[in-house]
Structure 1
Amino acid sequence: MTVTIRPAEKRDVQAVAELIEEIEKFYGATEIQPMDERTPQVEEALFGSPPLASALVVEDETGDLVGMAAYSFFWPAAGSSHSLFLKELYVRDTLRGQGIGGRMMDELRTMAAARPGCSRVEWMADSDNPIARGFYRSQGFEEHQGKIFYRVAPQSV
């Protein structure tokens, strides 16, 4: 199958919101945010002023979105440089194993290399997700130890 990887555009908001529902279900969510709430949040995140994040989307030959990579630039990284942080990499299950995820990783690395002051690409994978970890190993990426992840809801701060 032929696919195109490109930056998300405003016309993609609905399809990205649908992919986010797929991602949530993939990770086992049983309560899914209603589409009428999710869609404006996707639009604000990707196209607000300022945008909170960016995304690459994977478009198949019929024009459907079948994958995405959501990312942001974080500062500081090493010294005063910044990093491209990949938050989510997703390819629809029927298209996995066809090199699409690897192509998205290559595109992200190219984008980071082209951005002055960007010293690295970083991401996380769940320790209990052997498929993702195997994918990253197959791409030649090594796991790094030493960070512990924390999360708290804003209302509990």
Structure 2
Amino acid sequence: MSSVDVNIRLAGRADVAAVNRALRQLSADMGDEHRATNADIERFCFGPSPILHALLAVTKDGDVVGVAAYSPFFSTVFGTVGIYVSDLWVAGSARGKRLGVRLLAAVRDAGVKTWDADFLRLNVYHNNPRALAFYERIGFVPTTETQYMTLAGTALDTLGEQS
């Protein structure tokens, strides 16, 4: 399969299961627990207030060999909209064919068209040097002045209750 044999397109409501299968494979490849259900993808991509968008890379035979999941956000530092790429996965059989770059370019194009976005942002696991090298090779720059932080579970539930 060459990169021209793959069509990248916006996922539609009929693609919910395919999007979630691809994201589940990414989770498996990364050793992460995958909690998203098809109902979650349906709700957050195609519900009344969509906050997740997805692109699928599909072969002529209909096999999904890539996915990019992303959301817009506004940055006061940049004074513009950015696109947060939460998930990017390329099947092993399609790696090395610039499909990851094509998916990111399609995210950029969709973000510019829909939100007039000016930049992409993503996170990379520290223990994934291949991914880090890939992103740096195409021009992503590590941000050292900020630290990714998460508030979840009980800490989120009890926010504001601490004395």
Of residues 4, 7, 11 in structure 2, which corresponds to 1:4?
Answer: 7
Report the counterpart of residue 21 of structure 2 in structure 1: 18
Q: Does 1:72 align with 2:71?
A: yes
Deviations 1:81-130 (A, max 9, x none): 21111111111112111110011122222333445642321111112111
Distance in 1 (CA, whole Å) between partners of 2:155 and 2:20 is: 27
User: 1:153, CA displacement in angstroms?
Assistant: 1.7
User: 1:40, CA displacement in angstroms?
Assistant: 0.7
Query: Are the structure 2 counterparts of residues 50 and 149 from structure 1 closer, same or farther at C-alpha, using a change threshold of 3 Å?
Result: same
TM-score normalised per structure 2:
0.84
Distance in 2 (CA, whole Å) between partners of 1:142 and 1:133 is: 10
| Unaligned segments of structure 2, at least 5 residues | 157-163
The aligned amino acid for 2:56 is: V
Deviations 1:52-85 (A, max 9, x none): 2101111111112121111000023435421111
The aligned amino acid for 1:82 is: V
Report the counterpart of residue 140 of structure 1 in structure 2: 139
Report the counterpart of residue 161 of structure 2 in structure 1: none
Distance in 2 (CA, whole Å) between partners of 1:83 and 1:32 is: 26
Report the counterpart of residue 95 of structure 1 in structure 2: 94
Report the counterpart of residue 85 of structure 2 in structure 1: 86
Q: Is the 1:45–1:52 Cα contact (8 Å) retained in structure 2?
A: yes
* Aligned CA-pair RMSD: 1.9
Distance in 2 (CA, whole Å) between partners of 1:112 and 1:77 is: 17
Q: Is the 1:77–1:83 Cα contact (8 Å) retained in structure 2?
A: no
Q: Is the 1:78–1:119 Cα contact (8 Å) retained in structure 2?
A: no
| Unaligned segments of structure 1, at least 5 residues | none
Distance in 1 (CA, whole Å) between partners of 2:154 and 2:86 is: 22
> How many pairs are equivalent?
153
The aligned amino acid for 1:139 is: I
Deviation larger for 101-110 or 1-10: 101-110
The aligned amino acid for 1:112 is: G
Report the counterpart of residue 123 of structure 1 in structure 2: 122
- Give every structure 1 segment of 4 or more consecutive aligned residues whose post-TM-superposition deviation is greater than 6 Å: none
